[in-house]
Amino acid sequence: MKEREISALETALGYHFRRRAVIEQALTHSSQARELESQQAGEVKVRVNDNEQLEFLGDAVLSLVTSEELFHRFPQFREGELSKLRAHVVSERHLIRTAQKLELGHYLRLGRGEEKSGGRSKRALLVDALEAVLAAIYLDGGMDAAREFILREILVPELESMERGGGALPMSDFKSALQETLQGLGMTQPAYVLVQESGPEHNKTFTVEARLKTKNGEGAGEFVGRAQGSTKKTAEQDAARQVLAYLATRMQSTGAKLARGLRTDKK
Protein backbone atom coordinates (compact mmCIF):
# COMPACT_ATOMS: atom_id res chain seq x y z
CA MET A 1 0.00 0.00 0.00
CA LYS A 2 1.11 3.52 -0.68
CA GLU A 3 1.94 5.78 2.23
CA ARG A 4 -0.85 8.14 1.20
CA GLU A 5 -3.43 5.33 1.32
CA ILE A 6 -2.28 4.12 4.72
CA SER A 7 -2.47 7.65 6.13
CA ALA A 8 -5.99 8.10 4.73
CA LEU A 9 -7.10 4.81 6.27
CA GLU A 10 -5.56 5.69 9.63
CA THR A 11 -7.49 8.97 9.59
CA ALA A 12 -10.73 7.10 8.92
CA LEU A 13 -9.98 4.57 11.66
CA GLY A 14 -8.85 7.18 14.18
CA TYR A 15 -5.79 5.07 14.89
CA HIS A 16 -2.10 5.34 13.84
CA PHE A 17 -0.25 2.04 13.31
CA ARG A 18 3.28 1.65 14.60
CA ARG A 19 3.69 -1.58 12.62
CA ARG A 20 2.55 -1.11 9.04
CA ALA A 21 2.90 -4.80 8.22
CA VAL A 22 -0.03 -5.76 10.43
CA ILE A 23 -2.52 -3.41 8.75
CA GLU A 24 -1.29 -4.43 5.30
CA GLN A 25 -1.92 -8.07 6.20
CA ALA A 26 -5.39 -7.17 7.50
CA LEU A 27 -6.28 -5.78 4.07
CA THR A 28 -4.75 -8.63 2.03
CA HIS A 29 -7.38 -11.04 0.74
CA SER A 30 -6.44 -14.67 0.20
CA SER A 31 -6.87 -14.23 -3.58
CA GLN A 32 -4.06 -11.66 -3.61
CA ALA A 33 -1.83 -13.75 -1.32
CA ARG A 34 -2.18 -16.91 -3.45
CA GLU A 35 -1.62 -14.90 -6.62
CA LEU A 36 1.64 -13.48 -5.27
CA GLU A 37 2.77 -16.96 -4.21
CA SER A 38 2.13 -18.33 -7.70
CA GLN A 39 4.38 -15.63 -9.18
CA GLN A 40 7.37 -16.69 -7.12
CA ALA A 41 10.20 -18.37 -8.99
CA GLY A 42 11.72 -21.69 -7.93
CA GLU A 43 10.28 -24.76 -6.27
CA VAL A 44 10.32 -23.37 -2.72
CA LYS A 45 7.64 -20.74 -2.33
CA VAL A 46 7.38 -18.33 0.59
CA ARG A 47 3.91 -18.12 2.05
CA VAL A 48 2.26 -14.70 1.76
CA ASN A 49 0.10 -13.87 4.76
CA ASP A 50 -3.55 -13.00 4.17
CA ASN A 51 -6.18 -11.68 6.57
CA GLU A 52 -7.99 -14.92 7.43
CA GLN A 53 -6.24 -15.50 10.77
CA LEU A 54 -6.65 -11.84 11.71
CA GLU A 55 -10.34 -12.12 10.87
CA PHE A 56 -10.59 -15.01 13.36
CA LEU A 57 -8.88 -12.99 16.08
CA GLY A 58 -10.86 -9.84 15.35
CA ASP A 59 -14.14 -11.72 15.65
CA ALA A 60 -13.12 -12.92 19.12
CA VAL A 61 -12.03 -9.44 20.28
CA LEU A 62 -15.25 -7.91 18.98
CA SER A 63 -17.35 -10.50 20.80
CA LEU A 64 -15.46 -10.01 24.07
CA VAL A 65 -15.61 -6.20 24.06
CA THR A 66 -19.28 -6.22 23.06
CA SER A 67 -20.17 -8.77 25.74
CA GLU A 68 -18.33 -6.81 28.42
CA GLU A 69 -19.94 -3.50 27.44
CA LEU A 70 -23.46 -4.93 27.29
CA PHE A 71 -22.92 -6.68 30.63
CA HIS A 72 -22.09 -3.38 32.31
CA ARG A 73 -24.67 -1.26 30.46
CA PHE A 74 -27.63 -3.56 31.02
CA PRO A 75 -27.30 -5.33 34.39
CA GLN A 76 -31.04 -6.00 34.36
CA PHE A 77 -30.95 -8.09 31.17
CA ARG A 78 -30.99 -11.87 31.35
CA GLU A 79 -28.50 -14.04 29.49
CA GLY A 80 -30.86 -14.63 26.58
CA GLU A 81 -31.53 -10.92 26.15
CA LEU A 82 -27.83 -10.07 26.24
CA SER A 83 -27.06 -12.81 23.72
CA LYS A 84 -29.77 -11.55 21.38
CA LEU A 85 -28.50 -7.99 21.55
CA ARG A 86 -24.87 -9.06 21.04
CA ALA A 87 -25.84 -11.20 18.05
CA HIS A 88 -27.42 -8.16 16.43
CA VAL A 89 -24.45 -5.85 17.09
CA VAL A 90 -21.87 -8.29 15.66
CA SER A 91 -24.05 -9.45 12.76
CA GLU A 92 -22.97 -8.97 9.15
CA ARG A 93 -26.04 -6.81 8.56
CA HIS A 94 -24.79 -4.29 11.11
CA LEU A 95 -21.01 -4.58 10.56
CA ILE A 96 -21.33 -3.95 6.82
CA ARG A 97 -22.50 -0.41 7.56
CA THR A 98 -19.33 0.30 9.54
CA ALA A 99 -17.14 -1.25 6.84
CA GLN A 100 -18.83 0.85 4.16
CA LYS A 101 -18.59 4.01 6.25
CA LEU A 102 -14.83 3.46 6.60
CA GLU A 103 -14.62 2.70 2.84
CA LEU A 104 -12.58 -0.43 3.49
CA GLY A 105 -13.30 -1.71 -0.01
CA HIS A 106 -11.04 1.00 -1.40
CA TYR A 107 -8.05 -0.31 0.55
CA LEU A 108 -8.44 -4.08 0.00
CA ARG A 109 -5.61 -5.93 -1.75
CA LEU A 110 -7.36 -8.36 -4.09
CA GLY A 111 -6.28 -10.86 -6.72
CA ARG A 112 -7.19 -10.12 -10.33
CA GLY A 113 -10.07 -12.58 -10.38
CA GLU A 114 -11.63 -11.22 -7.21
CA GLU A 115 -11.14 -7.67 -8.46
CA LYS A 116 -13.01 -8.42 -11.69
CA SER A 117 -15.89 -10.08 -9.84
CA GLY A 118 -16.56 -6.95 -7.77
CA GLY A 119 -14.78 -8.04 -4.60
CA ARG A 120 -14.44 -4.49 -3.28
CA SER A 121 -18.16 -4.25 -2.75
CA LYS A 122 -18.90 -7.80 -1.53
CA ARG A 123 -20.46 -7.78 1.92
CA ALA A 124 -18.61 -10.87 3.19
CA LEU A 125 -15.21 -9.54 2.12
CA LEU A 126 -15.84 -6.14 3.68
CA VAL A 127 -17.02 -7.56 7.00
CA ASP A 128 -14.08 -9.98 7.10
CA ALA A 129 -11.74 -7.05 6.43
CA LEU A 130 -13.32 -5.02 9.22
CA GLU A 131 -12.74 -7.84 11.71
CA ALA A 132 -9.16 -8.23 10.45
CA VAL A 133 -8.52 -4.49 10.85
CA LEU A 134 -9.93 -4.68 14.35
CA ALA A 135 -7.45 -7.47 15.13
CA ALA A 136 -4.65 -5.37 13.65
CA ILE A 137 -5.52 -2.52 16.01
CA TYR A 138 -5.57 -4.98 18.92
CA LEU A 139 -2.17 -6.46 18.03
CA ASP A 140 -0.60 -3.07 17.41
CA GLY A 141 -2.12 -1.02 20.22
CA GLY A 142 -3.54 -3.48 22.73
CA MET A 143 -7.03 -4.06 24.11
CA ASP A 144 -7.64 -0.43 25.11
CA ALA A 145 -7.14 0.75 21.54
CA ALA A 146 -9.35 -2.03 20.17
CA ARG A 147 -12.06 -1.30 22.74
CA GLU A 148 -12.05 2.40 21.93
CA PHE A 149 -12.44 1.66 18.22
CA ILE A 150 -15.25 -0.86 18.76
CA LEU A 151 -17.21 1.41 21.06
CA ARG A 152 -16.79 4.47 18.85
CA GLU A 153 -17.37 2.92 15.43
CA ILE A 154 -19.52 -0.16 16.04
CA LEU A 155 -21.31 -0.49 19.36
CA VAL A 156 -22.31 2.93 20.72
CA PRO A 157 -23.70 4.33 17.43
CA GLU A 158 -25.93 1.27 17.03
CA LEU A 159 -27.18 1.33 20.61
CA GLU A 160 -28.01 5.02 20.28
CA SER A 161 -29.76 4.40 16.97
CA MET A 162 -31.83 1.59 18.46
CA GLU A 163 -32.79 3.74 21.42
CA ARG A 164 -33.93 6.62 19.21
CA GLY A 165 -35.92 4.29 17.01
CA GLY A 166 -37.50 2.26 19.79
CA GLY A 167 -36.37 -1.01 18.18
CA ALA A 168 -37.79 -4.42 19.02
CA LEU A 169 -34.59 -5.85 20.49
CA PRO A 170 -34.12 -6.10 24.30
CA MET A 171 -32.73 -2.59 24.41
CA SER A 172 -36.21 -1.17 23.80
CA ASP A 173 -37.97 -3.21 26.47
CA PHE A 174 -36.75 -1.49 29.63
CA LYS A 175 -40.32 -1.13 30.88
CA SER A 176 -40.85 -4.90 31.00
CA ALA A 177 -37.45 -5.40 32.62
CA LEU A 178 -38.29 -2.76 35.24
CA GLN A 179 -41.66 -4.36 35.92
CA GLU A 180 -40.05 -7.76 36.56
CA THR A 181 -37.31 -6.21 38.72
CA LEU A 182 -39.78 -4.34 40.92
CA GLN A 183 -41.96 -7.42 41.31
CA GLY A 184 -38.94 -9.37 42.48
CA LEU A 185 -38.14 -6.66 45.03
CA GLY A 186 -41.72 -6.49 46.27
CA MET A 187 -42.06 -2.86 45.18
CA THR A 188 -44.96 -1.11 43.49
CA GLN A 189 -44.87 -0.38 39.79
CA PRO A 190 -43.76 3.08 38.63
CA ALA A 191 -46.05 5.77 37.30
CA TYR A 192 -45.21 7.09 33.83
CA VAL A 193 -46.21 10.75 33.64
CA LEU A 194 -46.10 12.96 30.54
CA VAL A 195 -44.75 16.24 31.93
CA GLN A 196 -44.09 18.15 28.71
CA GLU A 197 -44.96 18.08 25.01
CA SER A 198 -43.28 20.51 22.65
CA GLY A 199 -42.58 21.15 18.99
CA PRO A 200 -44.72 21.18 15.85
CA GLU A 201 -47.27 18.44 15.22
CA HIS A 202 -45.04 16.62 12.73
CA ASN A 203 -41.94 16.75 14.94
CA LYS A 204 -42.97 16.66 18.59
CA THR A 205 -40.75 16.01 21.58
CA PHE A 206 -42.23 14.26 24.61
CA THR A 207 -40.81 14.48 28.13
CA VAL A 208 -41.82 11.65 30.45
CA GLU A 209 -41.03 10.89 34.08
CA ALA A 210 -40.97 7.39 35.52
CA ARG A 211 -41.81 7.95 39.17
CA LEU A 212 -40.70 5.13 41.43
CA LYS A 213 -42.71 4.95 44.66
CA THR A 214 -41.33 3.90 48.02
CA LYS A 215 -41.92 0.32 49.10
CA ASN A 216 -45.18 1.10 50.92
CA GLY A 217 -46.40 3.29 48.06
CA GLU A 218 -46.48 6.46 50.15
CA GLY A 219 -44.75 9.76 49.52
CA ALA A 220 -43.88 11.68 46.40
CA GLY A 221 -41.53 9.00 45.16
CA GLU A 222 -38.07 7.64 45.78
CA PHE A 223 -36.56 8.24 42.36
CA VAL A 224 -37.61 9.90 39.13
CA GLY A 225 -36.28 8.95 35.73
CA ARG A 226 -36.82 11.80 33.26
CA ALA A 227 -36.32 11.44 29.53
CA GLN A 228 -37.24 12.93 26.17
CA GLY A 229 -38.14 11.19 22.95
CA SER A 230 -39.80 11.61 19.58
CA THR A 231 -42.60 9.37 20.85
CA LYS A 232 -44.08 8.76 24.29
CA LYS A 233 -43.00 5.13 24.06
CA THR A 234 -39.37 6.02 23.42
CA ALA A 235 -39.34 8.53 26.30
CA GLU A 236 -40.95 6.01 28.67
CA GLN A 237 -38.37 3.37 27.76
CA ASP A 238 -35.47 5.72 28.45
CA ALA A 239 -37.01 6.85 31.75
CA ALA A 240 -37.43 3.19 32.73
CA ARG A 241 -33.79 2.57 31.82
CA GLN A 242 -32.73 5.31 34.24
CA VAL A 243 -34.77 3.77 37.05
CA LEU A 244 -33.22 0.36 36.34
CA ALA A 245 -29.73 1.86 36.51
CA TYR A 246 -30.63 3.49 39.81
CA LEU A 247 -31.93 0.22 41.25
CA ALA A 248 -28.80 -1.64 40.13
CA THR A 249 -26.60 0.94 41.87
CA ARG A 250 -28.71 0.81 45.02
CA MET A 251 -28.62 -2.98 45.15
CA GLN A 252 -24.85 -2.95 44.71
CA SER A 253 -24.57 -0.45 47.58
CA THR A 254 -26.83 -2.54 49.78
CA GLY A 255 -24.82 -5.65 49.03
CA ALA A 256 -21.57 -3.89 49.92
CA LYS A 257 -23.01 -2.68 53.24
CA LEU A 258 -24.26 -6.17 54.04
CA ALA A 259 -20.83 -7.65 53.28
CA ARG A 260 -19.14 -5.12 55.57
CA GLY A 261 -21.61 -5.95 58.31
CA LEU A 262 -20.91 -9.66 58.01
CA ARG A 263 -17.18 -9.04 58.23
CA THR A 264 -17.72 -6.89 61.34
CA ASP A 265 -19.83 -9.60 62.97
CA LYS A 266 -17.06 -12.14 62.50
CA LYS A 267 -14.56 -10.03 64.40
CA gap 203, 98 in Å, rounded: 28
Backbone angles phi and psi of 2, in degrees to 5:
-75, 150
Which range of 18-32, 96-110, 133-147, 153-167 scores highest in mean pLDDT? It is 133-147
Q: What is the pLDDT of residues 53-62, one digit of tens each?
A: 999 999 999 9
Pairing relationship of beta strands 191-198 and 223-229 according to DSSP bridges: unpaired
**pLDDT band at residue 63 using 50, 70 and 90 as cut-offs:** very high
- Confidence at 65, pLDDT banded by 50, 70, 90: very high
Whether the per-residue pLDDT at 217 is higher than 70: the answer is no
68 is catalytic: no
What CATH number does the domain located at 3-164 have? 1.10.1520.10
| pLDDT exceeds cutoff 50 at 218 | no
Residue 214: closest CA among 188, 185, 233: 188
Annotated active-site residue in 81, 128, 131, 140? 131
Give counts: helices (H), strands (E), the chain. 12, 3
Instruction: Find out whether 175 and 232 touch, Cβ atoms under 8 Å.
Output: no
What's residue 140's pLDDT? 96
> Does the annotation count 59 as an active-site position?
yes
* pLDDT for position 173: 66
Quick check: helix, strand or coil at residue 253? helix
Query: pLDDT (tens digit, 9 = 90+) per residue, 230-248?
Result: 788 888 888 888 888 888 7
For residue 205, report the phi and psi dihedrals to the nearest 5 degrees. -120, 130
Model pLDDT for residues 34-55, shown as the tens digit of each residue: 887 677 777 666 777 888 999 9
**88: pLDDT strictly greater than 90:** no
Strands 205-212 and 223-229, by their bridges, are antiparallel
Task: Please answer whether residues 67 and 82 qualify as being in contact, where contact means their C-beta atoms are separated by less than 8 angstroms.
Answer: yes
Q: Which fold has domain 174-266?
A: Double Stranded RNA Binding Domain (3.30.160)
Distance CA 137, CA 203 (A): 41
Highest mean pLDDT among 108-112, 177-181, 221-225: 108-112
- The domain ranges of the chain are 3-164, 174-266
Alpha carbon separation from 132 to 26, 49, 50, 94, 219 (Å, rounded): 5, 12, 10, 16, 56
Label residue 187 by pLDDT band (50, 70, 90). Answer: confident
Residue 214: pLDDT band (50, 70, 90) is: low
Half-sphere exposure in the Cβ direction for 110 (13 Å, CA): 19
Residue 229 pLDDT more than 90? no
**Catalytic site residue from 59, 69, 153, 238:** 59
pTM, 2 dp? 0.62
The pLDDT of 183-204, averaged and rounded, is 86
